[in-house]
Structure 1
Amino acid sequence: MPLFKRRDGGSIRDRFEFRDVLGTGAFSKVFLAECKAEPGHLVAVKCIDKKALKGKEESLENEIKVLRKLRHQNIVQLYDTYDEKGYVYLVMELVTGGELFDRIVAKGSYTEKDASHLIRQVLHAVSFMHDNGVVHRDLKPENLLYFNHEEDSKIMISDFGLSKTEDSGVMATACGTPGYVAPEVLQQKPYGKAVDIWSIGVIAYILLCGYPPFYDENDANLFAQIIKGEYEFDAPYWNEISDSAKDFISHLMCCDPDQRFTCEQALAHPWISGNTAYTKDIHGSVASHLKKSLAKRNWKKAYNAAAAIRQLQLLRISSSRAVTGNSSSNGTPPNRPFPV
């Protein structure tokens, strides 16, 4: 059954003038395109090869289903879909402001208050998703984009390829990105909306120091840290950060998903809703750590948590063993910070 039935039988190229290639992926290309009926109205068109998509049709249909449900100012919009011979096209809102961390590095100044404002926008969008029964399951800095290059540009959540609706059944599949996944995902327990809250906590942590709370080049050690919630607010990097920020993060990166904050509780925390976020410029410290991370992006592993868990199983390391495994007090060698 077609993903989208065109009312008048017109093709996407009847309606849009394709321009530059904005990006390429394993199964797709993203084009800048202009709407012929509305000159000057630019969109991003994701062109997906059906041959490459074979066997993954359900995943794409799920992403489309999710995006059609979500209309929020901080979520990249899906305008239309075209199912044509050889290709499926997704007509998306054009977002031009770049990735979150790149923008912070380029800034002249940056404060806790700025970080609080960013996280508040993410929480509002995720709260809207959760109210609509959608769990993103892969929140990470690369999926947070600025809408445009304006100084006060809003932040946008993108990439719903791993998202799932609660009405589609119990979630227990390991997915996401190592370093940002919640303990219950790694333990292969049934999970829900709380996994997104954990990921937001990890992002907030990085926004305030420039390096991740969990890091180890060995996946078994990394997962052991996450399962036990072994992170610290290391001196000297956290000395100038408010206790309120640390309290906020501690309620998001809480190992027990039942005790973890909801979006509503997080939005009500004084670090988000009040005036407890410091206004001291922390750009120098945060940006220097982020630059090292961005320079070493090739260190990132191009597999998700499911693949990493399979690797752990091959190594005969179960999540229960990881919980009792040996590690240092913060799970990392003393030469922090590390690449994100």
Structure 2
Amino acid sequence: PENLLLASKLKGAAVKLADFGLAIEVQGDEQAWFGVVLYILLVGYPPFWDEDQHKLYQQIKAGAYDFPSPEWDTVTPEAKNLINQMLTINPAKRITADQALKHPWVCQRSTVASMMHRQETVECLRKFNARRKLKGAILTTMLVTRNFSVGRQHTSPAATTSTAALASE
């Protein structure tokens, strides 16, 4: 979500995917993550999620995702069909970017967009990002605390005494 930018502040502005110079150029069958981006844009959270990184990777490799209620109840079958085609595990069977642009859901986007209000998606996205940032802050705090504790254990009593003596001078 941090890499999605609006081209302008105008209503209906184009959404652009930015890499800030860190990503490699996408080639041919490497377009699987576009399905993940579309999934997130529609409901505000990713198709694959688990606190356990090993389980998360297993979900991704198996293509194990679903369209749970209530978030997906208002999403059209055409949108779900496009996501299914974009998240196909086998690259040879996965829809290409050109094919995705010709998909009925994309071609009918003006009528699809007017049929639904996605405020709940924005709220889900905010909650997901807040949870992700909180987890990062907790992990950072744990790491700093651990490093501080390890550093204190390695400080000898003599060094502590001499440091205290210097500080009092």
Length-normalised TM-score, structure 2: 0.70
| Distance in 1 separating the partners of 2:134 and 2:28 | 29
Identify if the C-alpha distance between structure 1 residues 248 and 287 changes in structure 2 by more than 3 Å, giving closer, same or farther. Answer: same
- Residue correspondence of structure 1 range 105-124 to structure 2 within 5 A: none
* Residue of structure 1 aligned with 2:84, choices 250, 256, 273: 250
Unpaired runs of 5+ residues, structure 2, are 137-169
Query: Who is 2:6 aligned against?
Result: 146
Deviations 1:180-239 (A, max 9, x none): xxxxxxxxxxxx5322x2111011111111111110011100000000000001122211
Letter paired with 1:268: K
| Distance in 2 separating the partners of 1:292 and 1:219 | 20
SS in 1 for 2:5: strand
How much has 1:148 moved relative to structure 2? Answer: 2.5
Unpaired runs of 5+ residues, structure 1, are 1-140, 166-191, 302-340
Query: Who is 1:213 aligned against?
Result: 47
Q: 2:74 matched to 1:240?
A: yes
- Residue correspondence of structure 1 range 44-55 to structure 2 within 5 A: none
| Distance in 1 separating the partners of 2:122 and 2:64 | 24
| Distance in 2 separating the partners of 1:297 and 1:287 | 15
Query: Who is 1:310 aligned against?
Result: none
Query: Who is 2:158 aligned against?
Result: none
Letter paired with 2:133: N
| Distance in 2 separating the partners of 1:161 and 1:147 | 20
SS in 2 for 1:156: strand
Identify if the C-alpha distance between structure 1 residues 223 and 279 changes in structure 2 by more than 3 Å, giving closer, same or farther. Answer: same
User: Does the 8 Å contact 1:229/1:255 carry over to 2?
Assistant: yes
Q: 2:121 matched to 1:286?
A: yes
| Distance in 2 separating the partners of 1:194 and 1:300 | 32
| Distance in 2 separating the partners of 1:287 and 1:230 | 24
Larger relative strand fraction: 1
| Distance in 2 separating the partners of 1:279 and 1:248 | 19
Q: Percent identity?
A: 34
Q: What is the number of residues matched between the two proteins?
A: 135
Letter paired with 1:286: T
Identify if the C-alpha distance between structure 1 residues 290 and 258 changes in structure 2 by more than 3 Å, giving closer, same or farther. Answer: same
User: Does the 8 Å contact 2:7/2:13 carry over to 1?
Assistant: yes
* Residue of structure 1 aligned with 2:38, choices 184, 204, 209: 204
| Distance in 1 separating the partners of 2:78 and 2:25 | 32
Larger relative helix fraction: 2
How much has 1:300 moved relative to structure 2? Answer: 6.2
Letter paired with 2:129: L
| Distance in 1 separating the partners of 2:47 and 2:28 | 21
| Distance in 2 separating the partners of 1:286 and 1:280 | 15
Identify if the C-alpha distance between structure 1 residues 248 and 293 changes in structure 2 by more than 3 Å, giving closer, same or farther. Answer: same
Identify if the C-alpha distance between structure 1 residues 300 and 158 changes in structure 2 by more than 3 Å, giving closer, same or farther. Answer: farther
User: Does the 8 Å contact 2:43/2:124 carry over to 1?
Assistant: yes
How much has 1:274 moved relative to structure 2? Answer: 2.9
Letter paired with 2:11: E
Query: Who is 2:142 aligned against?
Result: none
SS in 1 for 2:114: coil
Structure with higher Rg: it is 2
Query: Who is 2:105 aligned against?
Result: 271
Query: Who is 1:225 aligned against?
Result: 59
- Residue correspondence of structure 1 range 151-162 to structure 2 within 5 A: 151-159=11-19, 160-162=21-23
User: Does the 8 Å contact 1:244/1:277 carry over to 2?
Assistant: no
Query: Who is 1:298 aligned against?
Result: 133
Q: CA RMSD in A?
A: 2.3
